[in-house]
Amino acid sequence: MPTSPSTDNASLHSPLVVNATPTHGEMIVKLFQQSLLDNLDDGVIFVNNRLNIISWNKKLESMTGISWGKVEGLKMTPQLVGFSASDGTTILDSNNPLLNALKTGSSIQGEYRLVGRSGRQHKVEMSFNPVIDARGQTHGGVVLIHDASIQLDLQRQLKDLYRFSMLDPLTQVSNRLEFEKAMEEFVRSRHASGLKCSLIVTDIDFFKKINDNFNHHIGDLALVAFADLLRKFVRTEDVVARYGGEEFVIICADCDLEAASQRAEEIRVELTESPQPMLGGQCITASFGVAEVEDNDTATDLFVRADCALLEAKELGRNRVVAAQASIIPGRPDMKKVDGATLGMSWRNIANGTLICEEYTTSTPLSIIIEKLRGYIIETEAEIRSVESDFASLNIERFDPQKRGRKGRFILEIEFNEKLIHLDKETKRRETQTVIRLNIREQKKGWFSANANELAPDVIAELRRHLMITEVDLKLRPKPISSAAKER
């Protein structure tokens, strides 16, 4: 006589009740099955029709912090397992998704939150599947629990890595690498589409005094405040980035020189009218250089022109906007001389009173040389006497190492010249070298002139390091003061 369904269900309500001693073969199969369950990457729960737990694998023990021995035969409820809705709200026993799956005979999947006994939260994907035989009779269910936390952690790490590679960690605007990539793309797009594109280069005036008078932490806060202000003036298609130190850049898409200059002026005015709490309510100022992409410009051309305009703004007294003109770029493509000829510039005559003159040829791009010179000026606190696109004159002070408090002052003149080495007629790509001439002149007769032979080589060596000039680049060796004087 066949066993009735009620009898079958009754036997399942009491799991693990064994009516006969299992055979050796059955024990081996059970061992294999348990080994398989324990080595799965997902949590697994077997329940009968009353939701009593029949089996619980090691992965689930790890996720919940509950060992199999403590849950054997217990009713599987959301509270027992520690899972809730994905937003953290409680799932009532009456709305247990496994119970609904058994009633409907259909699988139910969803995202949930699982909190283990240790308090660690997991975002999990759970699948509730009824176990149905060939006659359509339900014998219980299987719950599969996939821990999605690992993927979420990986996604979070990738997002952090992306942010780290794209953003300046202090100010959270784009970093220099991202700016340089964007510059190349914007210049290419401008040449392809004909749309206007401009660049603003700016930095905080006398930033070193902020660090000296307050501290570097306050200086960092000032940089963050400046970056936040710049962010207010950019559109979605623009890019604002920290180029380095206190210098920032803004790529202004679809924006001509006049519009970009007006935007820079608006930023400058608002900055001067914005008291900074970290500075005790004082306001800070900034200088701005603006340039527009011209025909045949490279990204380097654009940056050099804007950066030169920034230097001019500082030379004119800071806290102002200077718009660059295309004509100040050294080595414009409309200058046709090739075959190693110098592009568009000639050397100045060596002035009277020159103590030392050196000339170098280096493969370092002119834009980088100019940037390194800016760093030298800031670090040595040199005073700018005059600056042009291809020339800078600085006042330099040096202290007497033998007598404390005594110092000498002299003039350092730096000339830049770009030399065309090769021009590919098909691609129009140019290979250039940068020629640099350094002159040290006495500002007035005195202590430095008498000690120039000893001090000048150190000054020259210091400047070489900043400009990345090696001995290989040196064309004319330093001339002693006596030799230079005789030649004049």
Q: Which of 61, 180, 184, 246 is catalytic?
A: 246
List pLDDT tens digits, range 133-166.
888 888 888 988 888 776 655 555 555 555 566 8
* Distance of alpha carbon 406 from alpha carbon 40, whole angstroms: 79
For the question of residue 246 being annotated catalytic, the response is yes
Would you state the structure tokens that stand for residue 63, as one six-digit string? 């996720």
Q: SS3 string of 226-245?
A: HHHHHHHCCCCCCEEEEEEC
Name the residue among 113, 122, 121 with its Cα closest to residue 91.
113
pLDDT interval class at 57 (50, 70, 90): confident
Q: Which of 151-155, 249-253, 311-315, 422-426 has the highest mean pLDDT?
A: 249-253
Burial 353-389 (b: 16+ CB within 10 A, else e): bbbbbbbbbbebebbebbbbbbebbeebebeeeebeb
pLDDT interval class at 13 (50, 70, 90): very low
pLDDT for 447 equals: 55
Lowest-pLDDT range of 192-206, 329-343, 355-369: 329-343
Would you state the structure tokens that stand for residue 333, as one six-digit string? 């493509």
pLDDT at 458 over 60: yes
**Is the CB of residue 82 less than 8 Å from the CB of residue 116?**
yes
Cα Rg of the chain, angstroms: 37
* Distance of alpha carbon 466 from alpha carbon 481, whole angstroms: 24
> Under 8 Å CB-to-CB from 218, ≥6 apart: which residues?
210, 211, 278, 279
* Domains, in order of start, for the chain: 5-152 (3.30.450.20), 167-328 (3.30.70.270), 354-487 (3.30.310.80)
pLDDT at 328 over 70: no
Helix (H, G, I), strand (E, B) or coil at 343: coil
> Under 8 Å CB-to-CB from 339, ≥6 apart: which residues?
420
Mean pLDDT (the chain) is 77
Give me the residue label for tokens 């993927």: 151
